[in-house]
Amino acid sequence: MKKGLVVLLLAGVCTANSYSQERIYRCGNEYTNTVPSPQAKGCKLLEGGNVTIVQGTRAAAATPVRTAAASAQRVDAGEQKARDSDMLQILESELKKAQERQVELLREYNNGAPEKRNTELQNPQKYLERVAELKASLARNESDIAGIRRELGRASSVSAAK
């Protein structure tokens, strides 16, 4: 008798629990259980599983982002010429430094056979690592020189067009 009562009681609880779940609709990013016409708003009925909603703060309204070009004030031609001239001088000095560094790296690299240091005599792996590092530095520096030359070409063509 007790066993039958427990089974009947459990069945009643399960049935009541399933009826207590309301229909939940998803309308965009919102979830609701009171939608008179879900199809009218593009809402869809969610079936199966529970929905857990974590309340959070709303994102602030998007503020318009001003670009540098939009917010920059006009610069007169004389000042722009001075800026362009400074830019060319800086690029030329950077190119000169990079070329000097390239000559130094090439001399140290010695066509792939740099002089061994005392620590490398006992540990040949260190020598191989240094050679690989020198080779990578040479490649990086060549790339830097090419980039500076491209920038110089752009700057020269822009200043010549004005």
Look-up: residue for tokens 């530095």?
Answer: 137
Do residues 162 and 85 touch, judged by C-beta distance below 8 A?
Answer: no
From the list 67, 143, 152, 69, the residue with the least C-alpha distance to 105 is 143
The verdict on residue 18 lying in a domain is no
Q: What is the average pLDDT value for the chain, to the nearest integer?
A: 79
The verdict on residue 13 lying in a domain is no
The verdict on residue 33 lying in a domain is no
- Percent above pLDDT 90 for the chain: 38
Inform me whether the pLDDT recorded for 38 exceeds 60.
no
The verdict on residue 16 lying in a domain is no
Q: 91-150 pLDDT, tens per residue?
A: 999 999 999 999 999 999 999 899 998 988 899 999 999 999 999 999 999 999 999 999
The verdict on residue 105 lying in a domain is yes
Q: Please report the pLDDT score of residue 35 as a whole number.
A: 61
Buried b (16+ CB within 10 A) or exposed e, 16-25: eeeeeeeebb
The verdict on residue 138 lying in a domain is yes
Instruction: Count the domains in the chain.
Output: 1
Q: Please report the pLDDT score of residue 6 as a whole number.
A: 47
Inform me whether the pLDDT recorded for 90 exceeds 90.
yes
Residue 75 pLDDT grade (very low, low, confident, very high; cuts 50, 70, 90): confident
Q: Please report the pLDDT score of residue 61 as a whole number.
A: 60
Per-residue pLDDT, averaged over 36-60, amounts to: 68
Do residues 155 and 84 touch, judged by C-beta distance below 8 A?
Answer: yes
Inform me whether the pLDDT recorded for 19 exceeds 80.
no
The verdict on residue 107 lying in a domain is yes
Q: Which residue range(s) make up the domain with 122?
A: 76-161
> Cα–Cα distance between 145 and 151 in angstroms, integer?
10
